[in-house]
Amino acid sequence: MFGIRHRLAVACYQGWLRYYQWRNPQVRFGNNVRLKGLPIFAIAPSANVTIGNDVTFISHPAANLVGLSKRCSLAADSEARLAIGEGSGFSGVSIYCTTEIVIGQFLVCGGNVSIWDTDFHPLDYAARRRNDRGAIVRKPVRIGDDVFLGAQVIVLKGVQVGDRAVVAAGSVVTRDIPADEIWGGNPARFLKKTDQPRPAILENPPTA
């Protein structure tokens, strides 16, 4: 019985995705994008969104037992650019793009990660009173290939995270992280180098 319910749920999620693609041509999906639970997509008609092959979005708490507090949500404002590389996986992620967010290939996100390129509100109190949207600071975010963001990590505006970097659970990333480094804390700080040799399969990929 469980197997039947699971197959029906998967068919429902993939059907929803096909319908969303049909209604929202500004979002370009690669092959084999997988949904486990229904995400929230709030994509402006003039946004430019690309999701690569083999990307997974987990929004159902039973599909990730770390304890998801929310569904995956992707928001992109007018004229914003959001690009997600192939093979990346998300569980209860919150991505809010007002200018540009570029995520590389094979990103692994722990549960409830947030990636934002905006402060959402002005830092100046007078601008907040006036609801001055023009005073909000927005800066692009770039995340490299093979990055691992632990559960509850928050990546803030203007940050670049280098290839193969690791960010410890619960960290708040406020500045750039170089490639092949492990960072953690609030705000996140350098902890050590990863010191991991590149696997032979990546150095010498099989040929056809």
Tens of pLDDT, residues 70-109: 999 999 999 999 999 999 999 999 999 999 999 999 999 9
Task: Please state the rounded mean pLDDT for residues 111-120.
Answer: 96
**Confidence at residue 69, expressed as pLDDT on a 0 to 100 scale:** 85
The closest alpha carbon to 188, from 178, 177, 173, 176, belongs to 173
Domain ranges of the chain: 2-203
Matching CATH number, 2-203, of 3.40.50.720, 3.20.20.150, 3.40.50.970, 2.160.10.10? 2.160.10.10
Segments in the chain forming alpha helices (H): 2-23, 125-130, 200-203
The answer, yes or no, to whether residue 177 has pLDDT greater than 50, is yes
pTM recorded for the entire structure: 0.88
Q: Residues with catalytic annotation?
A: 121
